[in-house]
Amino acid sequence: MSWMIWRVWKFTILPALYPDEPKAFPYLIPFIGHASAFFNDADGLLTRGREYFGETREPFSLTLAGEKLVILTSAQDAASAYKNTGSLSYDHFVKDLFQTYGVSHTTITRMYQPPQDFSNEKASSSNTLLQTENPSGKNLCHLQSDFYKQQLHPSERLDTLGVKFLGNINEHLRYDRISANYEVTSSKAQEGTNFKTISLYRWCREVLVHSATQTFFGKQLFALDPNFLQTFYTYDSTSWKLLYKYPRPFAQDVNTAKRSLVSTLTAYLTLPSTSRQDASWLMQTLEREQRAIGIDTANIAAMMMLAHWVINANAYKLCFWLLAYTFHTPSLLSKLLTETAPAIRSSNDVDMAYLTTHCPHLTATYHEVLRLTSSAASVRTAEAPTVIGRKLLRKGTKLMSPFRQLHFDERIFGPDAQRFVPERFLRDEGLVRSKGFRPFGGGTTHCPGRFVAKQEVFMFVVVVLHRFEVRLAGGTQTFPSLERKKPSLGVMDPVDGDDVLVEVREGSGI
Ligand code: HEM
């Protein structure tokens, strides 16, 4: 009886009393709400919610273990949320993230303190960028977003980093460096043909994560912990548990991996900086600025772990899906081979400018694969009453724009939105600028790594296609399925055990 009263109150009377507020998607168990459905298939739950309200795409709310979350499924509403930097903030999310990762309360406070609070503190803080190149007086947390842009947006700094990064990919992507980490031992390749059978997923992961880690952090991490990358892979595939505060007893894998990564990074930061000169400008700057406001090594390591993850979590998965679609679509493979051939100058020289300006099929496929496989979301918190999509969000409301809800909108992408159509972004060149295409988010949190991500993916794909002879092992394979059950925070993984096995040998090209 009391359950009936609760249901009627919650889902009939309250919406009638507050028609301006987003309606709650009904659920059965008070407090728990949609939590178990969310952890079982987040996108499926969001789609059911959207359909429940008659496809109006008005904002609606979910309840996840007592917490209300407003969902935006219309491209227009997502765009309004990105634009609203006045009352919608990202800080709550970052502070919560820092806390989850064990960053101390004092450190979080310092990261958000205005620069003048440190101006008299220590001589070492006076010639930092926080004090000298910060005309609008940002706190260090906000200024760090600028450091990312200064390193990763098109500029001389990006050129320097790009040359190193592409050089590392080129070096790791060689037949004689194919490692036991991704070579499949039960090789079905014929004797005497020099074909090695390898896991495409693990190949992309090993080469790209190794190359990026070396480019951004230098070589010392590998010397300190030869298993650093393996631990990162465990962490990466279970990181959703930390983010969504999964019960601790079921999250031992991610916590153990996180502790190990932070401990290696702590040892790394304890080395004299002279032995870490091969790290990128970005990492050196973040460390120097954080030290200057009195943050200790353990806390810098915890934040650096997050940076390493952000840098590495998505590109290798995207590469995997792009190549998976390519090897499963012979007509696309042949177009990409022809179109990209002129970019190959020599074994050490791939013309990146040519790839990004003269290869429309590669670019269109890149966008289509991003559309289909990204499951990230932008999150904000209303710091004051805010109207989005004619709905009023009270102060403190958390909101989320899940990209898959936009990327499969048939009004934007057409009736074949569910399918992989490599020419989709060629058919309509305006799509890439559509408000409904947000693989890198938008507004103040628009991914600063999008330029370098494109370069690394293009480089990897093109070197694989031209340096090796590659074929699907066994001739045909079932296409891998996207992992929909675990909540994903970026480009999605394939279902456990799904992969593309390829037979690879040295080609006649580069
Ligand atoms: C295919 C690869 C990548 C994808 C799909 C991707 C996607 C995203 C997305 C969706 C966001 C959140 C946007 C939002 O909240 O609105 C983001 C943020 C971010 N990304 Fe990427 N990213 C990729 C690669 C990279 C790389 C290679 C780097 C660095 C080298 C990077 C650095 C960052 C940073 C620092 C942020 C946080 C921005 C902020 O909060 O101010 N990303 N990325």
Do the beta carbons of residue 455 and residue 165 sit within 8 Å? yes
**Is 324 within the bounds of a domain?**
yes
Do the beta carbons of residue 83 and residue 435 sit within 8 Å? no
**Is 76 within the bounds of a domain?**
no
Kindly state the tokens that stand for 431.
Answer: 């799509």
Question: How many A from CA of 398 to the centre of ligand 1?
Answer: 20
Do the beta carbons of residue 406 and residue 66 sit within 8 Å? no
**Is 79 within the bounds of a domain?**
no
Segment 163-183, tens digit of pLDDT: 999 999 999 999 999 988 888
Kindly state the tokens that stand for 349.
Answer: 């020289």
Checking if the pLDDT of 187 tops 70, the result is no
Residue 16, classed as helix, strand or coil, is helix
Do the beta carbons of residue 196 and residue 178 sit within 8 Å? yes
User: 487 Cβ partners below 8 Å, 6+ apart?
Assistant: 38, 39, 42, 240, 243, 244, 375
Question: How many A from CA of 119 to the centre of ligand 1?
Answer: 31
**Is 406 within the bounds of a domain?**
yes
Kindly state the tokens that stand for 301.
Answer: 């390591």
Q: What is the pLDDT of residue 190?
A: 55
**Is 86 within the bounds of a domain?**
no
Q: What is the pLDDT of residue 124?
A: 59
Do the beta carbons of residue 425 and residue 364 sit within 8 Å? yes
Task: Report the nearest-CA residue for atom 19 of ligand 1.
Answer: 447
Write phi, then psi, for 168 (nearest 5 degrees): -65, -40
Distance CA 86, CA 105 (A): 26
State whether 33 and 152 are in the same domain: no
Our answer on whether the CB atom of 442 is closer than 6 Å to any ligand 1 atom is yes
State whether 392 and 245 are in the same domain: yes
Q: Are strands 398-402 and 344-346 parallel, antiparallel or unpaired?
A: unpaired
Checking if the pLDDT of 299 tops 90, the result is yes
Task: Report the nearest-CA residue for atom 1 of ligand 1.
Answer: 315
Write phi, then psi, for 68 (nearest 5 degrees): -90, 135
Checking if the pLDDT of 507 tops 90, the result is no
Q: What is the pLDDT of residue 123?
A: 54
Our answer on whether the CB atom of 115 is closer than 6 Å to any ligand 1 atom is no
Checking if the pLDDT of 486 tops 90, the result is no
Q: Which amino acid is at 163?
A: V
Q: What is the pLDDT of residue 509?
A: 64
Residue for token pair 């090209």:
509
DSSP state of 389: T
Q: What is the pLDDT of residue 191?
A: 60
* Domain extent at residue 6: 2-71
**Is 141 annotated for ligand binding?**
no
State whether 106 and 28 are in the same domain: no
Question: How many A from CA of 403 to the centre of ligand 1?
Answer: 13
Give the CA-trace dihedral at 443, 449, 454, 456, to 10 degrees: -170
Task: Report the nearest-CA residue for atom 18 of ligand 1.
Answer: 447
Q: Mean pLDDT score of the chain, rounded to an integer?
A: 94
Kindly state the tokens that stand for 444.
Answer: 């103040």
Checking if the pLDDT of 188 tops 70, the result is no
State whether 62 and 162 are in the same domain: no
Our answer on whether the CB atom of 97 is closer than 6 Å to any ligand 1 atom is no
User: 207 Cβ partners below 8 Å, 6+ apart?
Assistant: 169, 172, 173, 316, 460
- The domain tally of the chain equals 2
Angle between helices 228-243 and 297-312 in degrees, nearest 10: 90
Compute CA 76 distance to the chain's CA centroid, rounded to the nearest angstrom. 23
Which candidate, 305, 92, 128, 292, places its Cα nearest to that of 213? 305
Question: How many A from CA of 196 to the centre of ligand 1?
Answer: 34
Pocket test for ligand 1, best of 440, 457, 491 (most atoms within 8 A of CB): 440
State whether 54 and 170 are in the same domain: no
State whether 479 and 361 are in the same domain: yes
Name the band, by pLDDT with cuts 50, 70 and 90, for residue 281: very high
State whether 42 and 182 are in the same domain: no
Question: How many A from CA of 22 to the centre of ligand 1?
Answer: 29
Compute CA 463 distance to the chain's CA centroid, rounded to the nearest angstrom. 23
Name the band, by pLDDT with cuts 50, 70 and 90, for residue 120: confident
Do the beta carbons of residue 494 and residue 480 sit within 8 Å? yes
What is the b/e burial string over 205-234, where b = at least 16 CB atoms within 10 angstroms of the residue's CB? bbbbbbbbbbbbbbebbbebbeebbebbbb
**Is 120 within the bounds of a domain?**
no
Share of the chain above pLDDT 70, in %: 97
Our answer on whether the CB atom of 162 is closer than 6 Å to any ligand 1 atom is no
State whether 191 and 277 are in the same domain: yes
State whether 38 and 180 are in the same domain: no
Q: What is the pLDDT of residue 349?
A: 84
Distance CA 473, CA 394 (A): 55
CATH number at residue 177: 1.10.630.10
What is the b/e burial string over 454-464, where b = at least 16 CB atoms within 10 angstroms of the residue's CB? bbbbbbbbbbb
Checking if the pLDDT of 189 tops 70, the result is no
Distance CA 336, CA 324 (A): 13
**Is 131 within the bounds of a domain?**
no
Task: Report the nearest-CA residue for atom 3 of ligand 1.
Answer: 314
State whether 59 and 105 are in the same domain: no
Do the beta carbons of residue 431 and residue 437 sit within 8 Å? yes
Distance CA 34, CA 25 (A): 9
Question: How many A from CA of 212 to the centre of ligand 1?
Answer: 14
Closest ligand 1 atom, residue 216 Cα: 30
Distance CA 509, CA 62 (A): 54
State whether 244 and 291 are in the same domain: yes
Do the beta carbons of residue 43 and residue 404 sit within 8 Å? yes
User: 215 Cβ partners below 8 Å, 6+ apart?
Assistant: 161, 164, 165, 168, 280
Please compute the mean of the pLDDT values over residues 85-93 and round it to a whole number: 96
Segment 99-108, tens digit of pLDDT: 999 999 999 9
Distance CA 431, CA 412 (A): 8
Task: Report the nearest-CA residue for atom 17 of ligand 1.
Answer: 447
Please compute the mean of the pLDDT values over residues 95-99 and round it to a whole number: 96
Segment 208-232, tens digit of pLDDT: 999 999 999 999 999 999 999 999 9
Please compute the mean of the pLDDT values over residues 379-394 and round it to a whole number: 97
**Is 11 within the bounds of a domain?**
yes
Share of the chain above pLDDT 90, in %: 89
Our answer on whether the CB atom of 400 is closer than 6 Å to any ligand 1 atom is no
Task: Report the nearest-CA residue for atom 36 of ligand 1.
Answer: 447
Residue for token pair 């000298």:
132
State whether 108 and 52 are in the same domain: no
Q: What is the pLDDT of residue 347?
A: 74
- Name the most confidently modeled range: 122-131, 395-404, 469-478: 395-404
Residue 186 exposed, middle or buried by CB count within 10 Å (0-12, 13-18, 19+): exposed
Closest ligand 1 atom, residue 318 Cα: 1
Distance CA 289, CA 284 (A): 9
CA distance readout (Å), 139 to 88, 91, 203, 306, 426: 18, 12, 40, 19, 42
Of the ranges 4-8, 244-248, 262-266, 451-455, which one carries the lowest mean pLDDT score?
A: 244-248
Other residues' Cβ atoms within 10 Å of the Cβ of residue 353: 8
